[in-house]
Amino acid sequence: MSLLILALALFNQNADAQLAEGYRVLDSDKRYIESFKRPELVIDHVNYEGYEIYGPAGLGEYLTKMNIPHINEASLKDANLGPDHPTAEEIESQIKVLVAKCSSIMQVENIGKSVKGRNLLFVKVSDNPNIDETEPEFKYISSMHGDEITGRDLMMRLLNDICDNYGKDARITDLVNNTEIYIMPSMNPDGSNSRQRWNASGVDLNRDFPDFSTSDNQNSPVGRAAETQAIMKWEAGRQIALSVNFHGGAEVVNYVWDTLPDAFPFESMVIDLSLRYSKLVPYIYNSNEFQQGITNGYSWYEVNGGMQDWSYYWHNDLQFTIELSNTKWASFSSMPTYWSANRPALLEFIAAVHQGTGFRFDDKATEGSVELVEYLSNASRGHFNFVGGEFYKVLEPGKYKMIVSTKKGVEKTIYVEVPAQLSLTSDNYVQL
């Protein structure tokens, strides 16, 4: 192993820091994996056969030189998939046509540009899309890895489903009327157009976010990829309470933490929410690799700089990573099958944001902090910041005390309850 470390060190003296090559390392007993845990390399999708590894140009040459069995990721891509997925430009055009068709419940939000100048688009879905209402906020985001395409298609189908069935389907109508839903089909349009994992600058976007467990413990967008910066700036102005980012290369619901072995403070709840999705998708729930189709992120493999942990640690946005398909670039012809299998879970998970409670001020400029206390045990469940005159948190059913402190020195204590029976139409907020 020392020879491998030496070879990688020599390789990295002259290597560009950008990601340029990807391989599936056939290392079933994981004898090499520790030596690949280096800042310039990315490990992903660990399974019984081995794992993926991504790095600068020259990585493959050194894997060969060290006699480490590997397969070039490019060779795993089926060149005969039939009609291919739409381009990023076609997706943007489809979004604009759809939103124009359903403008009463949809609005396009352009939050920035990709490296190559493509628009980074969210679709806001609400019964009042032009108004910032005080309602539970939910987010779906897909394809931050450009070659993991299934989620992008499912998000487009979900938007069309909502558009076609609002006012006809009672559940969809209640979701839209009582939730602010944000859907970004493609976080990495440059990568998808090039059918590559990284962005146009060779950055793995799911290793580019601030990581509270490392020296990168500053929630600053400075020096990060254009796509990462756009998400960070947008999220800072919202109060997203529950979200999912969609990937491909496995079939599993992944929950926090990714970067630490520590148990998540609300571990039983995130396991329950993970199962709420997986149980509705038989091919995920019946996994031969993951029990009941779910996994703790760190237990699977460590991810530093991931969007999932960043979302919760810095913004109280409880995010899950859902791997939708073992094949990253699943055929376009297979998309209706994935859609049919995932549609019930996609709607159920949006509804899950209503399992929570919070408060609101008349003055939307109000900012401050809140301590959450479990009412029966009087145990603190954490301290959180809030902006925009409102706070909302997804919680396990039960009674809680919230000790609210504003930056102007106002302090209030309120008592709230999350009922066991979820309701889409109840007002989840206490007026302060």
Tens digit of each residue's pLDDT (9 = 90 or more) over 169-185 = 999 999 999 999 999 99
Q: How far is CA 219 from CA 137, 208, 313, 425, in A?
A: 21, 11, 10, 35
Cβ-count burial of 365 within 10 angstroms (0-12 exposed, 13-18 middle, 19+ buried)?
exposed
**What percent of the chain has pLDDT above 70?**
94
Q: What is the mean pLDDT of residues 243-268?
A: 96
Q: b or e along 413-432 (b: 16 or more beta carbons within 10 Å of the residue's beta carbon)?
A: ebebebeeeeebeeebbbeb
Beta-ladder partners of 242: 138, 318
Residue 376: predicted pLDDT: 86
Residue 72: predicted pLDDT: 86
pLDDT at 416 over 50: yes
Residue 6: pLDDT band (50, 70, 90) is very low
323 belongs to the catalytic site: yes
Residue 18: predicted pLDDT: 87
Residue 257: predicted pLDDT: 96
Mind listing the pLDDT tens digit for each residue in 15-53? Answer: 456 898 999 999 999 999 998 888 889 999 999 999 999
Residue 54: pLDDT band (50, 70, 90) is very high
- Count CA atoms within 13 Å of residue 100 on its CB side: 6
CB 287 within 8 A of CB 293: yes
Structure tokens at 56: 């600068």
Mind listing the pLDDT tens digit for each residue in 132-143? Answer: 999 999 999 999
Closest to 92 measured CA to CA, from 119, 132, 59:
119
Give me the residue label for tokens 């000790």: 403
Q: What is the mean pLDDT of residues 62-68?
A: 90
Closest to 177 measured CA to CA, from 432, 427, 349, 421:
427
pLDDT at 217 over 90: no
Catalytic residue selected from 323, 348, 374, 390: 323
Residue 57: predicted pLDDT: 87
Closest to 47 measured CA to CA, from 261, 300, 297:
300
Q: How far is CA 412 from CA 148, 229, 406, in A?
A: 46, 35, 9
Residue 82: predicted pLDDT: 52
Query: Can you tell me the distance from the alpha carbon of 419 to that of 342, in angstroms, rounded to the nearest whole number?
Result: 27
Average pLDDT over the chain reads 92
pLDDT at 2 over 60: no
Residue 58: pLDDT band (50, 70, 90) is confident
Query: Can you tell me the distance from the alpha carbon of 208 to that of 202, in angstroms, rounded to the nearest whole number?
Result: 11
Residue 77: predicted pLDDT: 62
Residue 226 CA from chain centroid, whole number: 17
371 — phi, psi (to 5°)?
A: -100, 130
Closest to 381 measured CA to CA, from 360, 352, 356:
356
Residue 228 or residue 74, greater confidence: 228
Residue 233: predicted pLDDT: 97
User: Structural domains in the chain?
Assistant: 2-76 (no CATH), 88-354 (3.40.630.10), 356-431 (2.60.40.3110)
Q: What is the mean pLDDT of residues 200-208?
A: 95
CB atoms within 10 A of CB 38: 14
CB 144 within 8 A of CB 167: no
Lowest-confidence pick of 67-76, 173-182, 389-398: 67-76
Q: What is the mean pLDDT of residues 327-347?
A: 96
pLDDT at 291 over 50: yes
Mind listing the pLDDT tens digit for each residue in 114-130? Answer: 999 999 999 999 999 99
Q: How far is CA 162 from CA 90, 95, 159, 279, in A?
A: 20, 13, 5, 22
Closest to 68 measured CA to CA, from 13, 18, 31, 19:
31
Residue 62: pLDDT band (50, 70, 90) is confident
pLDDT at 403 over 70: yes
CB 424 within 8 A of CB 351: yes
